[in-house]
A and B are shown apart, each in its own frame.
Chain A
Amino acid sequence: MDFAFTDEHEELRQTVRRFLEGKSDEQAVRSLMATDSGYSEEVWTQMAEQMALQAMVVPEAHGGAGFGPVELSIVTEEMGRSLLCAPYLSTAVFAVNALVQAGSDEAQGEILPAIAAGQSVATVALVDAGKGWEVEEVSTKAEADGGAWRLTGNKSYVLDGHIADVILVAARTDDGIGLFRVEPGADNLKRELTPTLDTTRKLASIELSGTQATRVDKGGDQTAALSRAVALTTIALAAEQVGGAQMCLELSTEFAKTRMQFGRAIGSFQAIKHRCADMLVEVEFAKSAAYYAAFRASESDDDNEILAAAAIAKSYCSEAYFDITNATIQVHGGMGFTWEHPAHLYFKRAKSSAALFGDPLEHRERLADHLGL
């Protein structure tokens, strides 16, 4: 496999970067992270209308661009670089992947065109309170009630769950895991914004107590399909981590070139220079991990292989990103500890994205099983 980006890929990257430099500069990030909704509707609409970003992996039949994991990762990498505050991971990545993998044609036709057009914010409620990120662990109950369904359970860490107008819920039926949709205005539905370590990404808890729902999957157990959707989302998230890590390396290097102490730039001290060199190695490895996973996912339809590549990417990129943001604070000295400097925004994003969709240890455990260790 030859995982080199084409000229078109480079062009996509440049276009997205230019757009985000204009729409998601540090000031924009800081003002949006202080809001409850956590995003700008205006920019969300522009993202769709000017750039078709929400349409990336929506199939063409449903008004999308029909791209795959590689193109999606280019976009999320750039978003990670600029810390874009928007319900992109929830809507255009997780919800779209879940619907494409597990959704019925009818549900896809109903939901995806609005997402692609930037007219909808969607999310998937996966994790049950006190449980992990594996689809098998889902415990929210789905019970048939005539033609409809009723869901009961408590969902945690739902990306943008407090604002989504399309709420997809993974729930357990008598014959496995299904994908359901509840209306935001349904009775017996409680949604609450979670105060997050990383305020650039909003999470919510969702309480379902016999809440009415429609089943939107293809029928039968959706464990494998949803696991694939989670893996694809994880791969896009690893690319987001790479973007942030690269940005922190650039911030640190730039600072090390200009900050003078003892009559010389601090970057001329080996303690600082070598830390930056180690960051560079980590960034390069993280890129290899994330890009390989994206290319693998776009070429292979072997679930085990995709899961293994996702596990490598998520485990390595999470730790590299965290280490790099940690070093970024240290290289900047007291300045790195202030609220004014962006280092803490990346630092918090690094830790929170490491915990999303399974932490590095969990992913390594999965990989160890896969390798038969």
Chain B
Amino acid sequence: MANVEMSEEELRERTRKLLQEVNPDEVDQYTFRGKQWDHGLAMVHFPEGLGGLGLNPKMQAIVNDELRQGAKTFYEDLNVNPIGIGMGAPVVLTYGTDEMKKTLIKRIFTGEDIWCQLFSEPGAGSDVAGLSSRAVRDGDDWVVNGQKVWTTLAHISKWGMLVSRTNPDLPKHKGMSYFLLDMEAPGVDVRPLYQITGEAEFNEVFLNDVRIPNEYMLGEEGDGWKVAITTLMNERTALGGGSGRKGGGPIGILQSLWKSNADKHSKTAKAVLRDQITQLYIKGELLRLTSQRARAAAKSGNPGPEGSVGKLAQAELYKKIWECGLEVLGPEALVYEPGYELRRPEAEERRDSLTYAKYQFLRSRANSIEGGTSEIMRNILGERVLGLPGEPRVDKDVAWKDVPRGG
């Protein structure tokens, strides 16, 4: 039940009680976050009994603020289980059975079960609805064959959110279904993909005769697109929130880089860079404030297409911030300490702000691609928010099997 009456002070008090009961500096992540969940302080906009208190989502910031103040250890959702918390939990809450809600969401929040998103395929990225992996019904199961790609965290995931084609004779948006896939099931083969940074955050995932019990379909057969949209909108909101604190996040690091490097620059370069950093600071602030405004406006429930404002702006801004970071470093930008040997993401790149800036300069190239490219965000804003007409389509009312596809 919505519990809109709870005041900020009551929520703070409740958080302090949690900290009295368990100290995150003394117990492990799973224990602490499990208790946080039990107290309804995990995702306050979730229902009571499911990690929340039915509050406005913006009130989570109050809990986090109190947690940061009350202990040294603070777990960022984005480090614990970015895809599970940002997308898995909301989609289970919206479409899962009561049983799934009870068994899956808490483990998502604690990080015991890492989640991944199996949407993109070699032939279907922006046009994810064009995907060609196939799920065929066999008794009480579905049997899935196909290949997924760019699957972040698949190598350590317990659950995958999978979209697959269940009826190729229908137009593409209508013939897909949405499944929760146990990544430990036979036939799931995960292989690392080497990226621009030298790391492999993501993977290609081959699905060979993988069996999924019918009850792990979310929504009805053919509802795959609708369920996927819920997932994607949550992803975009998760990727467009900016930094929670004034002057925090990437812009804070740029400022500190500037402080230690400003004097290396000529008078003109100094003036130009100083103005550039100020412009980036302003945009960083406005990104933070815009997402704060959006959260205040969205009373509850799943986010709408407006989430694309923050997603687009953040992607473009962060790329610029790290580009500026390299300008600030000057010739120091010639050196890349971590090297490019294939490895899984690790703390190395985050060792100090200098290396981190160089790493992020490379990593941020993905910001305008992952979770929907900036071009796709502009299409969404143009069509879904401003109401501009779509492009002439060649694939809309045609059976999926008759739509032209490249390699």
Contacts and interface: CB of A to CB of B under 8 A. Distances in A.
B345 interface: no
Contact of B313 (A274, A285, A371): A285
Interface in A352-373: 361, 364-365, 367-368, 371-373
Contact of B382 (A264, A274, A288, A292): A274
A284 B309 contact: yes
Contact of A373 (B277, B293, B386): B277
A337 interface: no
Contact of B278 (A2, A264, A267, A367): A367
Contacts of A315: 279, 282
B127 interface: no
Nearest to B285: A312
A281 B278 contact: no
A218 interface: no
A265 B290 contact: no
A368 B386 contact: no
Nearest to B287: A285
B381 interface: yes
Contacts of A361: 275
A367 B282 contact: yes
A341 interface: no
B398 interface: no
A2 to B, nearest CB: 6
Contact of B309 (A253, A270, A281, A292): A281
Contact of B388 (A257, A288, A292): A257
B343 interface: no
Given A4-B296, A285-B313, A270 B282 contact: no
For the residues of A in contact with B, the DSSP-based class is helix
B289 interface: yes
A372 B247 CA distance: 13
Contact of A312 (B259, B282, B313, B377): B282
Given A257-B388, A315-B282, A371 B255 contact: yes
B379 interface: yes
Nearest to B388: A267
A183 B124 CA distance: 74
B388 A365 contact: no
B389 A267 contact: yes
Given A253-B388, A270-B378, A274-B375, 10 more contacts: A4-B297, A256-B388, A270-B379, A276-B381, A277-B312, A277-B385, A280-B385, A284-B290, A285-B290, A368-B274
25 contacts: A253-B388, A264-B392, A272-B388, A273-B379, A274-B379, A277-B378, A280-B385, A281-B309, A281-B312, A281-B381, A284-B290, A284-B309, A288-B289, A289-B282, A291-B293, A292-B289, A312-B285, A315-B279, A316-B283, A368-B275, A368-B278, A371-B247, A373-B255, A373-B258, A373-B277
Interface of A: 2-4, 249, 253, 256-257, 264-265, 267-268, 270, 272-274, 276-278, 280-281, 284-285, 287-289, 291-292, 312, 315-316, 361, 364-365, 367-368, 371-373
